[in-house]
Structure 1
Amino acid sequence: MPVDKVSLQLVTQLMEKRGWIELPARGTSMYPLIKQGDICRFVPTEAANIRKGDILLFHVPLGNLVAHRFSQCVKRDQQQYLCKGDTNLAYDEAIVWDQIIGRMTWIQRDERIIHVTELAVYLWGRLVLAVPLISLCLRMYLNRREGIKA
């Protein structure tokens, strides 16, 4: 989701004021857990509370908001976080703490709320990170469904 600096400040201020923010999902990078049009709720988080498999909301230098799955920390000049969309074949460019806005707590699809603490959601997150072939199969399926040649 593209955002300018003013919009990013508004998102951050709203998160601080309310303690959460809800944003509509766009794209297919987190399919099938998150689908186009789902509403995702994010809450502020601390670095110590981030766990492998969590879905983080962060901003990238191009001005986009991204919600992808956290995989691991790497230490270069400073602590960096590696995230990846479930259907993406490669990791995102590493991010730093200042880029992280929050952590997802639930997804609303139609009238249903899917909490990230549900066992099936937890297991899916661990599985998709442990078996990269799943991402490849999902991407091939989505490309075929959308009529894109791989």
Structure 2
Amino acid sequence: MSKDVTKLLRHTLRKQGFVDLPAQGYSMFPAIRQGRVCRFVPFEESECSPGDVMLYANDSHQLVAHRYYGTRRIDHTTLYVLKGDSNLYPDEAVHAHQIIGKLQRMAAEEHGLGRWLSPLFGGSLWCKLVMHAPPVTRWLHRYVHRRRLLQAGGETP
């Protein structure tokens, strides 16, 4: 991803008020599943609450959508702490200028078990569970790791 793409996303958010992007990866599994279309709205610092999913560009200009845990201040600078639900550790803290948007909603899953589980994993109970119960994150991390190994044709440890 380049700086130009990030600029284009910011422009689209300002002009259109939202941007829809398909999810890639497993760091937010099962709340956000691979390929699920996510709608992001512009980021407003005053409307940021722990548990919100924020879209940001990391130092390599890759787009990342992870859950917001809080802020910390270092030398009069506010940094945002974010973490994927199935990641063991938080991401490197990010500056406000790196945050592009906030997850507003996801497109409904039309078939399969995800159709029934989506409301559970997208709700506030799930948010509280992954944010305050470390064993859940550890279990998710192991599950995602094994799932990815199986998809790659490898064996589980």
For the criterion TM > 0.5, the same-fold answer is: yes
Which of 135, 141, 144 is residue 137 of structure 2 equivalent to? Answer: 135
How much has 1:118 moved relative to structure 2? 8.3
- Secondary structure (helix, strand or coil) at the match of 1:146 reads helix
Distance 2:108 2:55 in 1: 18
- Secondary structure (helix, strand or coil) at the match of 2:32 reads coil
Greater fraction helix: 2
Which of 63, 66, 73 is residue 65 of structure 1 equivalent to? Answer: 63
- Secondary structure (helix, strand or coil) at the match of 1:86 reads coil
Q: Which residue of 2 aligns with 1:6?
A: 4
Distance 1:42 1:30 in 2: 15
Distance 2:59 2:122 in 1: 33
Q: Which residue of 1 aligns with 2:24?
A: 26
Which of 27, 42, 60 is residue 44 of structure 1 equivalent to? Answer: 42
Amino acid at match of 2:107: Q
Distance 2:42 2:119 in 1: 16
- Secondary structure (helix, strand or coil) at the match of 2:28 reads coil
Amino acid at match of 2:66: H
How much has 1:120 moved relative to structure 2? 5.7
Q: Where do 5+ consecutive residues of structure 1 fail to align?
A: none
How much has 1:131 moved relative to structure 2? 0.7
Residue pair 2:31, 2:122 contacting (<8 A) in 1 also: no
Distance 2:2 2:18 in 1: 20
Distance 1:132 1:110 in 2: 28
Q: 1:17 to 1:73 in 2, by over 3 A?
A: same
User: Matched residue pairs, number?
Assistant: 147
How much has 1:119 moved relative to structure 2? 9.5
Identity %: 36
Q: Which residue of 2 aligns with 1:144?
A: 146
Where do 1:44-123 residues align within 5 Å?
Answer: 44-77=42-75, 78-111=77-110, 121-123=123-125
Residue pair 2:9, 2:19 contacting (<8 A) in 1 also: yes
Amino acid at match of 2:49: R
Q: Which protein has the larger Cα radius of gyration, Structure 1 or Structure 2?
A: 2
